[in-house]
Amino acid sequence: MPWIDPQRTRDAARHLRVVADDSDDLQSSIRRGLTLSDLPPRRSLAQLREIDEELTLLATVLTLRADAVEDYRIDGPAFGWSRSRETITTSRLFASLLDDEGARAPISGDLAIEVLLAHRSALECTADRRDRPDAFITIERLNEVANDAAQPAELRAAAGAFVANPAWIAQLRDDARNVALALISTRIPADAFAVEALQLFRRRNEVITMLVAQANRGLRDPTVSRFTPEELTSRGVEPEELRRLGLSADHGKLVIAAINNGTFLHSPRRAREFIASLPIEAAHGGFIDMFEVRPDSLRALHETATADLVGGDADLLTHLKIIAHLPESADGYRNHLITRAYAELGRRFEASINGDRAFDPSAPGHSGASWFIFGMAASDSVGPVIDGSLSVLGFVPVTNEARQDVANGNQAIFSDFTDGFEARLLGRTPDQPYLDAGFDLMDQAHDEVDPRRRQELMLTSSAYFGIHEQTIVDPYLSLPSTTIWQTAGGLLLTGLLGDVRTASEVMTDEGELHLRDADHRKLAPSLAIGSPILPIDDPNNLIADVDLCELLEDPFCSVVDQPNDWSKYLERMAPIGDVFKYHLTDPALFTAVQTYRPLMAPTPTDKRRFRPRPEAR
């Protein structure tokens, strides 16, 4: 049975990296000789590059292998929240460990189990276990099969993957005393054998084997061959596989092609891992062009990634993170998901904080709307900009650049709040003080029994969330495209036909927050976010407690009631504070939040965050 010492293996990996660095440095020395003599030692430079690359790759393999032995996660930022088998991940080692005659494509743990089960009659070999057919398969037998050229590629791949990943075996082994793999304990019925996944594996294996053979002949760019990114991804080749194998290709185009060609539709877990690798513009600086993503493909990817999420806080969080990482498409699919996610969180917090009074803001003691309900309306309001259905002043079309920038801003806020929500759910304190304060105040509102104080706490909570949100969105308001299309982090202007003002002026003067349901039906007059504060005794003032008006003096204190420039943080905060104050108990908000389809069904056992509120004293 394969055995490694993780510490020595790590030392070996470190040594290899030093040698690789030396090899790189040596190339510099040689180039100096070349400069002096005009004698190009081309073969040496190429060989040293090869040494550098190969040793670096081997060092990576060794480190991963040591990680696996020590039972670390071995496959990047996957969202393995819910089930133990989620942690069985695709082996990064596998492609490197197989010989040229074997399978080159990585095989997932799920498929490997299914392949082994399908071939279990060929694997059962231990004489002393014949009394328990199909119960145990030894590692030695797996090793034999992995090296047996007569066996099918997928069986060799599956057996080799398990031999190469002790961590997988450790998770499946039911008896630490022996080295047998208790596959039967997974209880996968025979009819669950994934024919499509197997076919995909075979196609992928064929292509990758061909590409590796080409690479061995010096052709390291797969697009030099007959394969376009579309052809590669439609055969199931994953962008990261090519990068891992050192085959150069346009990674960005491959990623888009993988989305559009449904490369990851065969496995919810693989779809999640792929989505987790996609950039969030605010965090990583890069983004996927929303106009290159096919809407139906994006929808299919999202549906696959969430197909096996069954509910509860962990799956909800997984779903939120999936949405945060998804790219946008021209029809605003991600924006719609973000709006639904805000609605979901708004409903859950509402139910948790207000109990029997939930969704009835006129009921005595109701806390008022949380920021997440306002977030739903704000996200919905930028939808027409992102999907291109709205134009400025009725005739100026929204540019694609502006649509992308607004979509990026929409994602920036959502991903940041998702991170904060995750931190709270896992019992950590978010790094952002205003976000943390906002959650704390919601918790206090949850526990508070004094009706007036509950509203004060909820309003202040929204204020802190609002400050955080507007800080995040601030850079997007100064982008060239959005200075024409001011969106104020989701608070959108509507165009006015016949108006002679600039779009910027319209935003500043007439910005509105829509109150619409999930079908985009208008539920109430839009909230004019640029208007002066309503008098306290105004009959249109919906606020439940007039004293709340005094609450947001600081930090929402502003020198102006009417902002002159929406891109200025201090000027726009006053009217945003107005929205929180005057619509705290607006029934239209609570009607709207109930019209969105649930993201997840909460399970009765997941009550860590959404606990019932205490009885009134």
Partner 1 sequence: MPTSFEFEQAAASFDAAADRAERLLEHTRRHFGPDTMRDGKLPLLADVTVDTAVLAAASVADELRGQADTCRIRAEACRTYSRQLATYGAEMDRWQRNQHRADESAAGGQGLVVAGPRPRRPSRPSFVEI
Q: Which residues would be at the binding site for partner 1 (CB under 8 A)?
A: 1-5, 8-9, 11-12, 15-16, 19, 22-23, 26, 29-30, 32-34, 36-39, 41, 43-44, 47-48, 50-51, 54-55, 57-58, 61-62, 65, 96-99, 143, 146, 160, 163-164
In the complex, what is the shortest distance from the CB of residue 486 to partner 1, in angstroms, rounded to a whole number? 57
In the complex, what is the shortest distance from the CB of residue 98 to partner 1, in angstroms, rounded to a whole number? 8
Closest CB to partner 1 among residues 162, 580: 162
Distances in Å between the Cα of 454 and the Cα atoms of 354, 439, 445, 462 are 10, 14, 5, 12
Look-up of token digits 């800080």: 471
Tokens of 447: 């526990």
CB-neighbour burial class of residue 324 (10 A; exposed 0-12, middle 13-18, buried 19+): buried
What's the rounded Cα separation, in Å, for the pair 221 and 237?
Answer: 14
What's the rounded Cα separation, in Å, for the pair 585 and 579?
Answer: 11
In the complex, what is the shortest distance from the CB of residue 15 to partner 1, in angstroms, rounded to a whole number? 5
In the complex, what is the shortest distance from the CB of residue 39 to partner 1, in angstroms, rounded to a whole number? 5
The answer to whether 290 and 327 are in contact (CB under 8 A) is yes
What's the rounded Cα separation, in Å, for the pair 488 and 504?
Answer: 11
Closest CB to partner 1 among residues 142, 435: 142
Closest CB to partner 1 among residues 46, 546: 46
CB-neighbour burial class of residue 173 (10 A; exposed 0-12, middle 13-18, buried 19+): middle
What's the rounded Cα separation, in Å, for the pair 467 and 569?
Answer: 9
In the complex, what is the shortest distance from the CB of residue 43 to partner 1, in angstroms, rounded to a whole number? 6
Chain mean position to CA 272: 8
Closest CA to 167 of 306, 274, 74: 74
In the complex, what is the shortest distance from the CB of residue 124 to partner 1, in angstroms, rounded to a whole number? 21
In the complex, what is the shortest distance from the CB of residue 203 to partner 1, in angstroms, rounded to a whole number? 24
Neighbours of 605 (CB within 10 A): 9
What's the rounded Cα separation, in Å, for the pair 270 and 111?
Answer: 11
The answer to whether 255 and 243 are in contact (CB under 8 A) is no
Closest CB to partner 1 among residues 6, 587: 6
Tokens of 138: 């030894």
Helix or strand (DSSP H, E) at 313: helix 312-325
DSSP characters for 408-468?
HHHHHHHHHHHHHHHHHHTTPPPS-HHHHHHHHHHHHHHH---HHHHHHHHHHHHHHHHHH
Helix or strand (DSSP H, E) at 528: strand 527-528
For 45-77, letters b (16+ CB in 10 Å) and e give eeebeebbeebbbbbbbbbbbbbbbeeeebbee
What's the rounded Cα separation, in Å, for the pair 101 and 194?
Answer: 24
In the complex, what is the shortest distance from the CB of residue 140 to partner 1, in angstroms, rounded to a whole number? 10
In the complex, what is the shortest distance from the CB of residue 97 to partner 1, in angstroms, rounded to a whole number? 5
The answer to whether 535 and 541 are in contact (CB under 8 A) is yes
Chain mean position to CA 110: 22
Chain mean position to CA 318: 8
Closest CA to 74 of 84, 85, 63, 59: 63
In the complex, what is the shortest distance from the CB of residue 20 to partner 1, in angstroms, rounded to a whole number? 9
In the complex, what is the shortest distance from the CB of residue 172 to partner 1, in angstroms, rounded to a whole number? 18
Closest CB to partner 1 among residues 55, 211: 55
310: number of CA atoms within 13 Å, CB side? Answer: 7
Closest CB to partner 1 among residues 3, 395: 3
Closest CA to 371 of 590, 580, 517, 557: 580
The answer to whether 325 and 429 are in contact (CB under 8 A) is no
In the complex, what is the shortest distance from the CB of residue 161 to partner 1, in angstroms, rounded to a whole number? 11
In the complex, what is the shortest distance from the CB of residue 200 to partner 1, in angstroms, rounded to a whole number? 24
The answer to whether 122 and 155 are in contact (CB under 8 A) is yes
In the complex, what is the shortest distance from the CB of residue 11 to partner 1, in angstroms, rounded to a whole number? 7
Closest CB to partner 1 among residues 65, 302: 65
Closest CB to partner 1 among residues 54, 499: 54
In the complex, what is the shortest distance from the CB of residue 171 to partner 1, in angstroms, rounded to a whole number? 19
Closest CB to partner 1 among residues 1, 560: 1
Closest CB to partner 1 among residues 99, 447: 99
The backbone torsions φ and ψ at residue 181, rounded to the nearest 5 degrees and listed phi first, read -100, 115
